[in-house]
A and B are shown apart, each in its own frame.
Chain A
Amino acid sequence: MSSETEELESLANQEYKYGFVTDIEADALPPGLDEGTVRAISAIKKEPAFMTEWRLKSYKKWLKMEEPKWPKVEYPEIDFQDMVYYSAPKTTPKYESLDEVDPELLKTYKKLGIPLEEQKILAGVAVDAVFDSVSVATTFKEKLSELGIIFCPISEALQNHPDLVKKYLGSVVPATDNFYAALNSAVFSDGSFVYVPKGVRCPMELSTYFRINAQNTGQFERTLIVADEGSYVSYLEGCTAPQRDENQLHAAVVELIALKDAEIKYSTVQNWYPGDENGKGGIYNFVTKRGICHENAKISWTQVETGSAITWKYPSVILKGDNSIGEFYSVAMTNNYQQADTGTKMIHIGKNTKSNIVSKGISAGKSNNSYRGLVKVMKSAENARNFSQCDSLLIGDKCGAHTFPYIEVNNTSGKVEHEATTSKIGEDQIFYCNQRGLDTEQAVSLIVNGYCKEVFRELPMEFAIEAQNLLSISLEGSVG
């Protein structure tokens, strides 16, 4: 165990090896949204005609839709005409050296164990010539292209692989799916595209983490991952470092397609600005994530959510093919005035389909944390199996934890199990740790990390330790 931990730590402390940059240059559009805005975004990106049409169709559908009101979150009304829907990525660094950066921010980076060069990138400091990320990116891309793997911004994919994008975009999350998905489909700025060819096992974790311009892909990110028959890919999204953004609303869409015998592992660490301790500011994160499994395919979602003022997110799996497997592992931590309404949907269509849900909610401060999940077994899904475990941990007595499990079973051979627990960190647990020499903050962090272990062990190694550190930092000040 301890040697394993050592290994994890050393891995987590390595510098990140991958990254890529893109060249998009255009001016910002004026605030507001109409057909012209949608056409303009498409034109700036020199998109093929089908894409412009698709965006416009989505826009028209969006106009007829209403914001969902069912999540257990509260926020002031959003003025969609007051937002800027396209602005060019900033290419000039904000600072000349780390000395100019907010020392508090640097302290957090240090606690997370983020390498110095990377800290500079995250904080927007000019990067030394020694650290040539372009050349790193090039070797990385070469290695992937040898295997026929495509990993590029979706805007680039629309230029170079329009047929692939056309075939799969919107196939799992149709533009009409929900209000925010429709909005995203109309105005998405950029995002990632991955295609792994038949029988290929992607040899490295694909990561958006280190993309220098990732911060600037904007508030409407679009990700499309296609794993062809018998292939495997693991994809990491997000960053443990605190992400600040001037855009308050983020409405991303992620679609995963796992063809026959393929496997996709999608891991997220989300740490966007949650607002201050009084609940001011902070990002609204309204995300639609869904995957589809064909025969014998498998999709695993793992997420560690500690940021954002409001999180509204349900990574889901449609188990279409026989014998396919869907998994959802989640840690959602809320503190101060944060609100999270998150969970998953597992739709069993094929025979012998299996799904596994492990959700760990942690609420502290005055926050509200809800698990909302749907397990649906269709008539066709003979012998479907689901196991759900939803645990809530409360820290203090001003926070809330809620569980909304929805179960629909239309086939009598199905077996659906749901377990839910709510617990508090006990005084006796804390005193036990105190008595062994740990202070209370360490004790809480240790107890919480233990509670989340089932989810953390699903994370790729380089993410796991950082995620633990992140949780400890998010917990700071929540006890005492």
Chain B
Amino acid sequence: MLEVKDLKASIAGKEILRGINLSIKPGEVHAIMGPNGSGKSTLANVLSGREEYEVTAGSVSYFGDDLLEFAPEERAQKGIFLAFQYPVEIPGVSNVYFLRTALNEIRKANGEEEIDAAAFLKMIRKKMELVEMEKALLNRSVNEGFSGGEKKRNEIFQMAVLEPKLAILDETDSGLDIDALRVVADGVNTLKSKENATIVVTHYQRLLDYIIPDFVHVLYKGQIVKSGGKELAFELEEKGYDWLK
């Protein structure tokens, strides 16, 4: 579904990604690991279309289309979901209203009818259980005053509702205690299917105890320097990143 070829990208003139190659098929879980500053978050942002990042070379094909041609909202409508490393607060906009607007925009873009209020409420109730989210968070403003764990849980909750084809989790494990980590991972695992794929961007191996990847890629200085199976993550945990440099 996703073919990244020799992708180069920079921010404010500084080259961060220096030729990324990545191939992802439906049903797969890919982990992108690497030390700070290796370009992990940049890759996540470039794939979701953040404007500050300039793609200077290479191509990204998504279900045969040129992904880089699409605006961020079009990518979202086509099933790309980014779970933010730092989820953004939107004061005065209730979580549930935000989510319903998002879902309906995605549905409209795909030629589906807007979901009615009753069906929507029924659906989100189920998804809330999945990520053990408190009901009270639904009517609060988007991420406003949420704890770090609540924000991350809210990202996974949104993912559960929007049912993306390609989910990118950007350091979703950072700042989570072990219980929250388990809940987030359970959510991701439950949502996994043969049709969708997940990219887990993480610094630590810890999350991969809960979300078992099919492939692990090590990113270093803007390039994938090593790829392997899940055992590569354990090796990294043991040896650190230095041996790869």
Number of A residues with CB within 8 Å of any CB on chain B: 28
Q: Which residue of B lies closest to A423 (CB)?
A: B91
Contact partner of A450 among B48, B117, B120, B141, CB < 8 A? B141
Interface contact A432-B84, CB-CB below 8 Å: yes
Chain A residues within 8 Å of B100, by CB = 2
Interface contact A450-B82, CB-CB below 8 Å: no
Q: Is the interface of B mostly helix, strand, loop or mixed?
A: helix
Indicate with 1 or 0, residue by residue over B73-105, a CB within 8 angstroms of chain A CB atoms.
101110001101011111111101111111101
Interface contact B117-A451, CB-CB below 8 Å: no
Nearest CB on A from B60, distance (A): 16
Residue among A429, A435, A450 having the largest count of chain B Cβ atoms under 10 Å: A435
User: Is B72 located at the chain interface by the 8 A CB criterion?
Assistant: yes
Contact partner of A2 among B48, B82, B117, B158, CB < 8 A? B117
In the assembly, what is the distance between CA of A141 and CA of B93, in Å?
Answer: 40
Chain A residues within 8 Å of B99, by CB = 436
Q: Which residue of B lies closest to A453 (CB)?
A: B92
Indicate with 1 or 0, residue by residue over B139-156, a CB within 8 angstroms of chain A CB atoms.
101000000000000000
Given known A431-B72, A446-B98, contact A436–B93 (CB-CB < 8 A): no
Residue among B72, B93, B139, B141 having the largest count of chain A Cβ atoms under 10 Å: B72
User: Is A397 located at the chain interface by the 8 A CB criterion?
Assistant: no
Interface contact B71-A439, CB-CB below 8 Å: yes
Nearest CB on B from A265, distance (A): 22
What is the number of contacts between chain A and chain B, taking CB atoms within 8 Å?
93
Given known A2-B100, A429-B88, contact A438–B93 (CB-CB < 8 A): no
In the assembly, what is the distance between CA of A199 and CA of B174, in Å?
Answer: 61
Contact partner of A1 among B50, B94, B106, CB < 8 A? B94
Interface contact A434-B94, CB-CB below 8 Å: no
Contact partner of A435 among B48, B89, B92, B94, CB < 8 A? B48
Indicate with 1 or 0, residue by residue over B40-76, a CB within 8 angstroms of chain A CB atoms.
0000000011111000000000000000000111011
In the assembly, what is the distance between CA of A454 and CA of B88, in Å?
Answer: 20
User: Is B11 located at the chain interface by the 8 A CB criterion?
Assistant: no
In the assembly, what is the distance between CA of A433 and CA of B91, in Å?
Answer: 13
Chain B residues within 8 Å of A440, by CB = 73
Q: Which residue of A lies closest to B117 (CB)?
A: A2
User: Is A356 located at the chain interface by the 8 A CB criterion?
Assistant: no
Q: Which residue of A lies closest to B100 (CB)?
A: A2
Chain A residues within 8 Å of B98, by CB = 436, 446
Given known A435-B48, A436-B102, contact A428–B88 (CB-CB < 8 A): yes
Residue among A426, A432, A439, A442 having the largest count of chain B Cβ atoms under 10 Å: A432
User: Is A102 located at the chain interface by the 8 A CB criterion?
Assistant: no
User: Is A3 located at the chain interface by the 8 A CB criterion?
Assistant: yes
Interface contact B93-A449, CB-CB below 8 Å: yes
Interface contact B76-A435, CB-CB below 8 Å: yes
Given known A435-B82, A437-B102, A454-B92, contact A1–B48 (CB-CB < 8 A): no
Interface contact B102-A438, CB-CB below 8 Å: yes
Indicate with 1 or 0, residue by residue over B119-141, a CB within 8 angstroms of chain A CB atoms.
01100000000000000001101
Contact partner of B71 among A2, A428, A434, CB < 8 A? A434
Interface contact A437-B117, CB-CB below 8 Å: no
Indicate with 1 or 0, residue by residue over A1-32, a CB within 8 angstroms of chain B CB atoms.
11101100000000000000000000000000
User: Is B197 located at the chain interface by the 8 A CB criterion?
Assistant: no
Interface contact A437-B92, CB-CB below 8 Å: no
In the assembly, what is the distance between CA of A439 and CA of B98, in Å?
Answer: 13
Interface contact B97-A431, CB-CB below 8 Å: no
Interface contact A432-B71, CB-CB below 8 Å: no
In the assembly, what is the distance between CA of A1 and CA of B98, in Å?
Answer: 11
Contact partner of B97 among A1, A427, A432, A454, CB < 8 A? A1
Given known A2-B96, A437-B77, contact A446–B120 (CB-CB < 8 A): no
User: Is A447 located at the chain interface by the 8 A CB criterion?
Assistant: yes
Nearest CB on B from A469, distance (A): 14
Nearest CB on B from A426, distance (A): 7
Q: Which residue of A lies closest to B121 (CB)?
A: A2
Interface contact B73-A437, CB-CB below 8 Å: yes
Interface contact A446-B93, CB-CB below 8 Å: yes
Q: Which residue of A lies closest to B52 (CB)?
A: A427
Nearest CB on A from B142, distance (A): 8
Nearest CB on A from B167, distance (A): 12
Chain A residues within 8 Å of B244, by CB = none
User: Is A182 located at the chain interface by the 8 A CB criterion?
Assistant: no
Interface contact B96-A437, CB-CB below 8 Å: no
Nearest CB on A from B104, distance (A): 9
Residue among B81, B98, B138 having the largest count of chain A Cβ atoms under 10 Å: B98
Q: Which residue of B lies closest to A452 (CB)?
A: B92
Interface contact A450-B92, CB-CB below 8 Å: yes
- Point out residues on B near A: beta carbons under 8 Å: 48-52, 71-73, 75-77, 81-82, 84, 86-94, 96-103, 105-106, 109, 117, 120-121, 138-139, 141, 158, 162
Taking A2-B97, A435-B49, A435-B76 as known contacts, 5 extra A-B pairs with beta carbons closer than 8 A to each other, sorted by chain A number, are A3-B117, A432-B90, A435-B75, A437-B109, A450-B141
Can you show 15 pairs from A to B with CB atoms below 8 A apart? A1-B138, A2-B96, A2-B100, A426-B88, A431-B50, A431-B88, A435-B49, A435-B73, A436-B99, A437-B76, A437-B77, A437-B105, A442-B105, A446-B93, A450-B91
- Point out residues on A near B: beta carbons under 8 Å: 1-3, 5-6, 426-429, 431-440, 442, 446-447, 449-454
